[in-house]
Chain A
Amino acid sequence: MKENALGIGLRSELLEALCIQPAREDIDFLEIAPENWMGIGGRKRDQLDILADKYPLIAHGLSLSIADTVPLNVGFIRDVCSFLNDYGISIYSDHLSMCRDSSGYLYDLLPVPRRKENIEYLTGRICQVQDIVGRQLVLENISYYHRYEDQMPEAEFLAAIAEQSGCGLLLDINNVYVNSRNHLEDAVAMVRCLPSNAIVYYHVAGHLELEDGSLLDTHGTKVGEEVVRLGHEVWGWHGPRPLLLERDNQVPSLDELIREVGDVQKSIAAGDRYACSI
């Protein structure tokens, strides 16, 4: 995939429009959550088959739960592998997070305590996943709303895990910004500490500012100007990578979404002021 490729997350709301149009030249790939597509049939499956013939797909998982403390769900990971193979998907990403406890799945992305003594455990699990899926696992930095005590800096933690496991990193620029605002961290310093060679692609998304001034990573608005500015820092420091716009709520039309990701990339690359109207 070319280093300045553009993509959007595939949502049900976009399926019809994407299927009836010829392959568009203004996007290069689609990102799908395998958990929403694995093992299904019917209309949605037919639509996915149509789109897989038109666009390269990236799989971005939600339920791997790489950082929980119960044994990996190996059956599920094998199913993911079959799905990736069936659709010829080479990039498989998920989150450095947990979504499960000993009782079961919670269906959300929860943070892991960032400590040196946890790195070896996590690295072992990442390697186990990579062995099963036969691909590099790419892990995303999440937005988090809970802080454990005495943690190491996030970038240092991510870098150590990437180095020791060989996993890739999916740098979510919006998540870095949201965390920096919510936890009074230096976003630019954080991204500069990440190893460039591990970064596989970037995410951008919109967030919501709550009444108390804290930010919520909603994927429900346009990308904010501050996130674009941080994206410019990232682009300048780590270089171009495929860029994906996530939009999961209040999804606009396909044309609008594709226009937005194109505009965001131009602004990130050039450092131009980005006109964002929410």
Chain B
Amino acid sequence: MRAQSEAHAPSRMVSETDELCQKIRRRKPSIYSELLRENILEVLKCSFPRFGTALAPGKLDEIASHFLSRHGAKRPQFHHIATEIVEFAHRGHELSKPLICLLEYEWILLSTEIDSARIQAPQLSGNTNWDTSKISLNPTAEIVATPFDITLVDIPVELDGTEQNYVYAVYRTVKHTVVTRSLSYVDYCLIDLIRREGEVAFNALVSAPPVQLTTDAIRQWVIEQSQNGLVICGTEC
């Protein structure tokens, strides 16, 4: 039997299943309400460990309950429940800016860990021909800017708008370690240029307007960032 175009469900089936789901979402007492809430709570704790400990007692349970009752998750994959939670936090839950930053940062760590991109091993050697070298960014790299030092254990309770920005690159190395690297202004300018262009010739990087560095300094920067795994240096064919 081959499928025809999808039929509508019988009306009684629709009303009965809707009623069950609504009861679960509204946390009417049932095993399902508890199981689902526990599932979401578990994802929150595992995926966002620092966020969970930064919240006031009871707040995590509240977020799990509100997620169930208010959020329509569109992604079937279980590793995307964390993504749905971040979307929900943006749209439907009152969280302070530092907490949202922390949630997003932990989501980026997760997302980077399972990013489907393949990462090349560093290819620089003593024989590198810099005239034909092309520099690209690690394909898993994300640039993150936060109004406080995200690497500190404690985050501020609130922000007053006068904070400086901290900029980081989060990426996965060829050995699958997820790294958060603090970026200086020079780092950021060079990485932003590489990111915008996709791939940049070494000579173009040397003549890039945002930063004035000597050729040797840029070369040293490329070597260091290549060893760190943040940029990939290949040779033009």
Contact = CB atoms under 8 A, between A and B. Distances in A.
A35 B81 CA distance: 11
Given A103-B72, A107-B36, A128 B6 contact: yes
B224 interface: no
A125 interface: yes
A253 to B, nearest CB: 21
Residue from the set B35, B77, B118 with the largest chain A CB neighbour count within 10 Å: B77
Given A44-B114, A121-B13, A62 B78 contact: yes
B37 to A, nearest CB: 10
B91 interface: no
B47 to A, nearest CB: 13
Interface string A21-44: 000000000000101101111111
Interface in B96-126: 113-118
Contacts of A115: 10, 12-13
A103 B68 CA distance: 10
B17 A101 contact: yes
Contacts of B8: 121
Interface stretch (B19-27, B130-138, B194-202, B228-236): B19-27
A62 to B, nearest CB: 7
Interface in B57-110: 68, 71-79, 81, 84
Interface residues of B, number: 47
Interface string A105-125: 111101111010110110111
A107 B36 CA distance: 7
A145 B7 contact: no
Interface residues of A, number: 56
Given A42-B114, A107-B81, A108-B39, A76 B76 contact: yes
A106 B76 CA distance: 9
Nearest to A127: B3
Contacts of A131: 2-3
Contact of A117 (B12, B21, B76, B77): B12
A203 to B, nearest CB: 19
Contacts of A145: 30-32
Given A101-B17, A117-B12, A128-B6, A106 B24 contact: yes
Contact of B16 (A76, A130, A148): A148
Contacts of B76: 35, 63, 65, 73, 76, 100, 105
B56 interface: no
18 contacts: A35-B77, A63-B76, A63-B78, A71-B6, A73-B76, A98-B17, A101-B22, A102-B18, A106-B25, A106-B68, A107-B73, A113-B17, A117-B13, A118-B13, A121-B10, A124-B6, A145-B30, A148-B16
Nearest 9 CB-CB pairs, A to B? A104-B72, A63-B76, A128-B3, A69-B9, A101-B21, A103-B72, A127-B3, A41-B116, A43-B176
